[in-house]
Structure 1
Amino acid sequence: MKTLLLDSEDVHENADMTELVPAIEDAFAAYENGDAQMPAKSYIDLPQYNGDFRSMPAYMDAGEWDAAGVKWVNVHTDNEDDYGLPTVMGTMIYSDPETAFPLSILDGTELTMKRTGAAAAVATDHLAVPDATSMGIVGAGVQSYTQLRAIASVRPIEEVVISDVDEEAVAAFVDAFDDEFDVRPGSVEEAAACDVLSTVTPVRDPIVPRDALGEHTHVNAMGADAEGKHELADEVLLDAKLVIDDYDQTTHSGEINVPFHEGTLTDADIYAAIGEIVVGDREGRTEDDGITVFDSTGLAIQDVAAAHVVYEHADERDNGYEFDLLGVAE
């Protein structure tokens, strides 16, 4: 038996959103139903390098799922400018739960981008207006691309407004999608007025004001992944039907972490976890809803679900590179 090494291109080719979005939805359901183990995400803070490491293990045992893995991922905000490296990098180890054999080592950077976009798509499918045709994105980094790809797989997106202080990044995004969508640069306020808004920035001072949002805008708050990060004005969170991915993670390091610890936001302001909506215990969007917000911190079960999809297809298609990691291959 050999371990399959899958680089970023292999992950990209074997993670089609039409399959990845349902897989991530299944992962949310498994977690909600108690069919998954997911210890708390652990952090190693490296302030001297303006970064950190995170360890994210998980196991799922539900229906067709019998999958386990762990992702080792970082966020180093100076990487791109100082070293020409991605801000976020990761390595995923996907294992056979029965024997613990490492079936695959995958590029976790591409995997993270894909599954994060898919998670936003799951939330959008349950919380956005059914006929949403416009999408705003604040933050034109790598995650903005998968946000659009994923959400366009669940809603008929036609118009896209992209906002970022980096004009070159905005221009690159427009060039990438100009043939598929009516895409244009715009302000944060213009992006926020769309039917769906995804925020993918690392800011610590809110940049999306309440009065900028449309009457029925659904917001995917994806940028906050550490204590102190905060993209949306407190009034947005207080006025919205607020849905989270995991209570412990979002209160610690999600979009709600700052107002929650300040006492501005309480448990009573949280409507549901996305898993509760996926399994039908709580309603998604109703006719009476105004703005909705999904606070996503990223869960290890998403990585395991995504790795399962990628590995199965890569194995079928003979993608990747097989090697004898443990020296046990016959």
Structure 2
Amino acid sequence: MFDIRILSKEDVTKIITMQQVIEVVESVYKAKSESLTDVWPTVFYEFNRGKADLDIKSGYLKSKQLFGHKTVTWFGDNAEKGIPTLIGMIAVFDAETGMPLGMTDAAYITGMRTGAAGALGAKYLAREDAENLLIVGAGNQAIFQIAATLTTMPTIKKVRVAAQQLANAKSFVEGIHYKLQHQFGISIDNITFEAVEDLEKAVHDSHIIITITPSRKPIIKKEWLKIGTHISCIGADMVGKQEIDAEILTSSLLFVDDTKHCKEVGEIEIPLKQGVINETNIIGELGDLIVGKVKGRTSNEQITVFDATGMALLDIATADMALKQAEKNELGTKTNI
């Protein structure tokens, strides 16, 4: 009855760029601030705690007359089976008719839009002269965070990568030049890349820190930070996760991507429950800052934090862009359902 287009990961990688995704993500943040979106409740289920889980996120983009959902699974043991640990699909629908418009692979789009979110937090909250970037975590998301931040922050001169195992950080750094140049088309001639041996020292020497770990206890301590640091907290996306010392939030300029979800499952979840901070510590959502409803950094001495749990709105908008470009380029598979 309906003709829809289905895009594989390979299709998606051919037709979207990081710059395009950053622009889409920024437009969604703006639309959310202007009450042109609805974020629907997240479904989260753990098949095996810490080893296998799923997320179902959904929402409505009134500004684009689209709605949809994303189902993503993470099965850690898949690595031993030779299959991806992160698997998922995004479904996009027309909000005027309810008709399905298409489906895309979710893994690559999730990586791209999550990278864009972390980088936009840095763009709007970090010092304008920020040069040193620290990525804490060397998993699937690390390359996307680096690519997006280098795209939005041309002042970056040094990128450090920290991992639980130094060998993992070194292995990641060894392959980063090829990925950035060939996968993202990013010139890295004047940028230094290093694996971190001493996390405390690296934190103290960083202007921008992006955390992308599954940690359930703080790994960044308040006393390690120097004045003027910005932190984009990306890893805390379900109940019980926490990557930075709660005390950091008491003396920083704090922004979130979606207030309700961040309170439930974001970096601020545990500090709120512990009473270390309260809702008045939240200055606003990033979209509010982008459109000028609230003020952000006003000096190079302030510490800023962006807590991003991730929204299906970003996936839906990015998938819609990919589907439209695929139609123009006759990519993907068309089928009738």
Q: Which of 116-125 and 48-57 deviates more?
A: 48-57
Partner secondary structure for residue 261 of structure 1: helix
- What are the within-5 Å matches in structure 2 for residues 100-249 of structure 1? 100-156=98-154, 157-178=156-177, 180=188, 181-186=191-196, 187-192=198-203, 193-249=205-261
Cα 1:289/1:9, change in 2 over 3 Å: farther
For structure 2, which runs of at least 5 residues remain unmatched after alignment? 179-187
Cα 1:87/1:95, change in 2 over 3 Å: same
2:290 counterpart (257, 270, 278): 278
Report Cα offsets for 1:49-99 as digits up to 9, x if no partner.
84322211112122xx2222210112334443x434433322101122233
Matched, 1:302 2:300: no
TM-score when normalising by structure 2: 0.90
The answer on whether the counterparts of 1:138 and 1:191 sit within 8 Å (CA) in structure 2 is no
Structure 1 consecutive aligned stretches of length 4 or more whose deviation exceeds 6 Å: none
TM-superposed CA distance for 1:39, in Å, is 0.9
Matched, 1:26 2:38: no
**Matched positions, count:** 322
Equivalent position amino acid for 2:271 in 1 = P
The answer on whether the counterparts of 2:247 and 2:276 sit within 8 Å (CA) in structure 1 is no
Partner secondary structure for residue 244 of structure 2: coil
The answer on whether the counterparts of 2:6 and 2:334 sit within 8 Å (CA) in structure 1 is yes
The answer on whether the counterparts of 1:230 and 1:258 sit within 8 Å (CA) in structure 2 is yes
| Identity across matched positions, percent | 30
Cα 1:20/1:265, change in 2 over 3 Å: same
TM-superposed CA distance for 1:206, in Å, is 0.7
Give me the whole-angstrom Cα distance separating, in 2, the residues matched to 1:271 and 1:229.
22
Q: Which of 93-102 and 131-140 deviates more?
A: 93-102
Cα 1:271/1:209, change in 2 over 3 Å: same
Partner in structure 2 of residue 9 of structure 1? 10
Q: Which of 157-166 and 315-324 deviates more?
A: 315-324
The answer on whether the counterparts of 2:253 and 2:296 sit within 8 Å (CA) in structure 1 is no
Give me the whole-angstrom Cα distance separating, in 2, the residues matched to 1:210 and 1:78.
34
The answer on whether the counterparts of 1:223 and 1:231 sit within 8 Å (CA) in structure 2 is yes
Give me the whole-angstrom Cα distance separating, in 2, the residues matched to 1:199 and 1:8.
25
Matched, 1:251 2:263: yes
Cα 1:41/1:191, change in 2 over 3 Å: farther
TM-score when normalising by structure 1: 0.91
Give me the whole-angstrom Cα distance separating, in 1, the residues matched to 2:135 and 2:148.
13
Report Cα offsets for 1:89-111 as digits up to 9, x if no partner.
22101122233332221111111
Partner in structure 1 of residue 185 of structure 2? none
Partner secondary structure for residue 153 of structure 1: helix
Equivalent position amino acid for 1:184 in 2 = E
Give me the whole-angstrom Cα distance separating, in 2, the residues matched to 1:142 and 1:85.
13
Equivalent position amino acid for 2:109 in 1 = L
Equivalent position amino acid for 2:141 in 1 = Q
Report Cα offsets for 1:232-259 as digits up to 9, x if no partner.
0112122211111112211111111112
Partner in structure 2 of residue 58 of structure 1? 59
Give me the whole-angstrom Cα distance separating, in 2, the residues matched to 1:213 and 1:79.
36
TM-superposed CA distance for 1:127, in Å, is 0.3
The answer on whether the counterparts of 1:218 and 1:293 sit within 8 Å (CA) in structure 2 is yes
Cα 1:78/1:256, change in 2 over 3 Å: farther
RMSD over aligned Cα atoms: 1.9
The answer on whether the counterparts of 2:127 and 2:300 sit within 8 Å (CA) in structure 1 is no
Give me the whole-angstrom Cα distance separating, in 2, the residues matched to 1:104 and 1:284.
38
Give me the whole-angstrom Cα distance separating, in 2, the residues matched to 1:237 and 1:18.
30
Q: Which of 83-92 and 142-151 deviates more?
A: 83-92
Give me the whole-angstrom Cα distance separating, in 2, the residues matched to 1:132 and 1:304.
31
The answer on whether the counterparts of 1:131 and 1:155 sit within 8 Å (CA) in structure 2 is no
Report Cα offsets for 1:124-160 as digits up to 9, x if no partner.
1110111222210010011010001111111122210
The answer on whether the counterparts of 1:15 and 1:114 sit within 8 Å (CA) in structure 2 is no
Cα 1:18/1:93, change in 2 over 3 Å: same
Partner in structure 1 of residue 47 of structure 2? 46
Give me the whole-angstrom Cα distance separating, in 2, the residues matched to 1:99 and 1:72.
22
TM-superposed CA distance for 1:273, in Å, is 1.2
Partner secondary structure for residue 41 of structure 1: strand
Give me the whole-angstrom Cα distance separating, in 1, the residues matched to 2:300 and 2:193.
30
Give me the whole-angstrom Cα distance separating, in 1, the residues matched to 2:167 and 2:99.
44
For structure 1, which runs of at least 5 residues remain unmatched after alignment? none
TM-superposed CA distance for 1:288, in Å, is 5.9
